[in-house]
Chain A
Amino acid sequence: MTQPGRRREGALQRREKRLAYALLMPTFLLVLAVVLLPLVANFWISVKPVTLADLRPPTLILKEQVRGDFAAAGDNARLEYRYRNSSITYPLEAVVFNDTLPSGVVVTSLDPACDLEKAGAGIRCDLATLVAKGRGKIQIGITATKAFGGDKSSFKASRPIVRFSSYNVMTSFDFTLTNFERIFSAAEFWDVLKVSIYYTVFGTAGALLFGLFAAQIMQKTFPGRPVIRGLMLFPYVAPVIAVAFSWVVLFDPFSGAVNAMLMQMNIAEGPINFFGQRMVTIHIFGYGISLPMALTMVILFEIWRYFPLSFLFILARMQSIPSDIYEAAEIDGASPIQQFWFLSLPFIAGILAVLFLLRFIWTFNKFDDIFLLTGGNAGTRTLTVNVYEQAFAISNLGAGAAVAVVIFVLLLIFSVIFIRFSPKDAG
């Protein structure tokens, strides 16, 4: 591509530039609205004491009712307004409402909070400040004249217009660090972080190694290879919800095939709750080794589900290696392991690095799998599951957003490290 250099850009170039921006604009706006702004908003929420309930802003609930017979001319009745602050935490300020009265209605007595408007055709009530959960009523004496239509429901025809200002945590400028204090001081936070790292490292490495193994196997031609290659991609292609629940059913302590089989073959004495048990002790040669059971299962699932992806990439890369270098190596008497180590591996090192980087970040970001398998229980709560737990299970949106900020910062750190140490020709 030629660089325009210092030359002034011509009309054609300007048009090209404008067209390019126009073509990219829709994408940019959508990504801005759904990805970038929420990212910023997440930081905003993380420094605010927001709970799930705050998403419904406080409002004034107002009910209008006519008490007494009110139909013919000369009838007296009371017009009653009952009001209530819907919020249980925040007051409503400068509460005012206006209502228009049906024609033929004359106000005889007014509540001190209210005034007549529009030559007696309307009222305006000033309730000033209403404390949280505050309620009350306003009563107005009315009498009917000949002009009244005779139908009480005509009062409902005009709904009162309510105005107030209330405190909205989302938009106010009050900031707090309690969310961060809360998540960092929680005893389990460091466990959660540890589980996250453990899950990410072993899940990524396992999926990569299995993918490498599978690619080595599938590189050889044999009858039925296309079918088996398709089959090997199933775990990745199928919906997470289907495969996760298949695993749950397969490993169910009571009706699961694996437990029944283990007991049948006298390998296990009683049912094992694979996804519900935190630790398991395995006795080998008299030594007891403690392993995190549920976490290991979740990692195995991660490996099972994502090895096809590494397999696919590594296989594609290996098939692009020219075959004559293998022939040359063969003539030189290189053994198969030497050929793998000194020929194949250098060729696929680049794609392995890229896969490791991307899979590492994506495994770290993974939410669905663990959530569906264990719900984050039994020592499998990762940071991402913790976001859900804080924001929606404990309904503390602010704390959830704070955990999300921690995730984001860790991702940035990972990226910086990867960029520093990644091979330049990778890809």
Chain B
Amino acid sequence: MKIWRHGLFGAVLAGGVWASLWQIVVTIALILTTGTGLTLQAGPAMLAGMAGGMIAILFRPVGRLLRHSAGIIVVALLIWGFTLGAPFDPDNLLQRWQSWTALAITTTASWFSLSATIGEMLPVMQARYACEKFYLRLLWGLGLTMFVLIVSIPFYVMVMTSLTSQQSLLANPLDFSIDPSVGAAVLFRSYIELFTKYDFGTLLLNSAIVSVATVLITLIFSVPGAYAVAKLRFPGRKWLSGSVLLIYLIPAIILVIPLYAVFSQLGLRNSLLGLCIVYPATTIPVALYMLRGYFAGLPSELDDAGLMDGLSRLQIITRIAMPLSTPAIASVALYVFMIAWNEFLFAFMFLDDVKLFTLSRGIVSLNSSEVPRQHLMAGAVIATTPVLVLFLWFERFLVSGLTAGSVKG
């Protein structure tokens, strides 16, 4: 008998998994928000959850409201009982209300995850289809929880570390609680210090200059090029559109030594101009590739009509092709901006002068034992915010741009 195909087994398993998972998540969240040392009690929660699984599947015929409330109360009581009245803190470190809230969250979240996973399943042997559906639902829920956690935790730590003080970080690395009563000047002291002492205003400006210049140069070069590859007939056209992306596969680290040598001799190395030459060269091929695809999709009749009306090819580009492909140009611009803003290698190799540092270059120099960690994290937040704001604002453009032509990283 394949016991794992039985509905009851599935429900008990799901109950145990969900309750222990939510117990872990809530305990970690409590530790990170209150800074107190708590004990992880996943085992008792798992037992309570298994009992909850049994209730959830055996009491299916009972009305929904009654079943949910009864289930939640029973699971909560069981967790409370199995952990000897202290679900999170055997040493009595939390306020009473904190414990109660956390227990309520754990139980409710576990119960509803469990109910959703069980779905319409009955406590009998399951057919293959229903059985797979059930386990995939469980996997789906677990996967979603895992992805949300692993993606958000580093960003959470980044923001919270930038707001704590050096002493509290060393005294208790888990204490990310924020006390708004200290006032903005204390809370944001790392940011204030970065802008006053470390001249982050200039760095922001440098980064902005280089990124915007890179976007403009890239567009000025790639729009006519892409148009030519998409619409004009010339020998080598096929070869060109196939090979342009090969340039994208050449690693920057191979180019860095010769460029370092030559730019040193030309006096371009320690300058923003040097970066404004190197960055576009690395972004133009992909911009050309992305735009070419879009231009090729525009009907040629438009160009012909333009030619008939006496427009030159350049006028066709600026008056017909470009206005029609604003979404593509916007996504290319955003994508190139992102690359230039985030670029690290060339900025790190080329720039020596603090006045010329871009954000990436400036933040590396904060990574020393003399500079407190909060400054480093505040710098990271400053560098991340503009890209993330842009990204969230234009997500649709950017996502289509990312999928259109680039697998770069």
A-side residues, CB < 8 A to B, are 1, 4, 13, 16-17, 19-21, 23-24, 26-27, 30-31, 33-35, 37-39, 41-42, 44-45, 50, 55, 170, 213-214, 216-217, 220, 228, 230-243, 245-250, 252, 254-257, 259-261, 264-265, 304-306, 309, 312-313, 316, 333, 335-337, 354-355, 358-359, 361-368, 372, 384, 387-388, 391-392, 397, 400-401, 404, 407-408, 411, 415
Contacts and interface: CB of A to CB of B under 8 A. Distances in A.
A246 B157 contact: yes
Given A23-B225, A31-B284, A335-B128, A305 B253 contact: no
A336 B147 contact: no
Given A231-B148, A260-B174, A384-B253, 19 more contacts: A1-B233, A16-B232, A16-B233, A30-B284, A34-B282, A35-B255, A38-B258, A39-B258, A42-B258, A237-B338, A249-B158, A255-B173, A257-B174, A261-B174, A304-B154, A336-B136, A387-B254, A388-B253, A404-B254
A362 B254 contact: no
Interface string B380-397: 110110011001100100
Which of A35, A261, A359, A404 has the most B CB atoms < 10 Å from its CB? A35
A45 B251 contact: no
Contacts of B172: 260
B129 A335 contact: yes
A249 B257 contact: no
B273 interface: no
Contact of A230 (B136, B169, B392): B392
Contacts of B144: 217, 228
A265 B407 contact: no
A249 B161 contact: yes
B252 interface: yes
A265 B367 CA distance: 29
B133 to A, nearest CB: 6
Nearest to A315: B403
Contact of B234 (A16, A261, A388): A16
A16 to B, nearest CB: 5
A34 B342 contact: no
Interface stretch (B44-52, B194-202, B358-366): B358-366
Interface stretch (B15-23, B30-38, B79-87, B182-190): B30-38
A98 B383 CA distance: 54
Contacts of B284: 27, 30-31
B205 interface: no
B258 A45 contact: yes
Nearest to A361: B249
Given A249-B158, A260-B173, A388-B253, A55 B265 contact: yes
Q: Give the dominant DSSP class at B's interface.
A: helix
B253 A367 contact: yes
A355 B228 CA distance: 28
Contacts of A392: 349
A220 B129 CA distance: 18
A31 B247 contact: yes
B235 A264 contact: no
B169 A408 contact: no
A240 B227 CA distance: 33
Nearest to B392: A230
Given A30-B284, A231-B151, A249 B376 contact: yes
A362 B234 contact: no
A387 B257 contact: yes
A318 to B, nearest CB: 12
A73 to B, nearest CB: 46
A329 B150 CA distance: 34
Nearest to B285: A31
A170 B367 CA distance: 35
Interface in B206-265: 220-222, 224-225, 227-229, 232-235, 237, 240, 247, 249-262, 264-265
Given A230-B395, A237-B391, A335-B132, A313 B253 contact: no
Nearest to A237: B391
B345 interface: yes
B344 A238 contact: no
B233 A13 contact: yes
Question: In this complex, which of A27, A33, A231 has the most chain B Cβ atoms within 10 angstroms of its Cβ?
Answer: A27
A24 B228 contact: yes
Nearest to B140: A217
A30 B280 contact: yes
Nearest to B217: A30
B14 interface: no
A387 B349 CA distance: 13
B380 A241 contact: yes
B382 to A, nearest CB: 9
Contacts of B152: 231, 234
Nearest to A37: B258
9 contacts: A4-B233, A17-B233, A38-B262, A235-B151, A239-B342, A241-B359, A241-B360, A306-B409, A388-B253
Contacts of B298: none
Contacts of B227: 23
A237 to B, nearest CB: 5
Nearest to A219: B140
Contacts of B235: 17
A3 to B, nearest CB: 9
Nearest to A355: B407
Contacts of A33: 281
A396 B364 CA distance: 23
B67 interface: no
A396 B107 CA distance: 62
Nearest to A300: B150
Contacts of B155: 234, 238, 246
Contacts of A316: 403
**Shortest Cβ-Cβ A-B pairs, 10 listed:** A365-B251, A34-B281, A242-B380, A41-B258, A38-B258, A20-B232, A23-B224, A23-B228, A20-B234, A260-B173
B124 interface: no
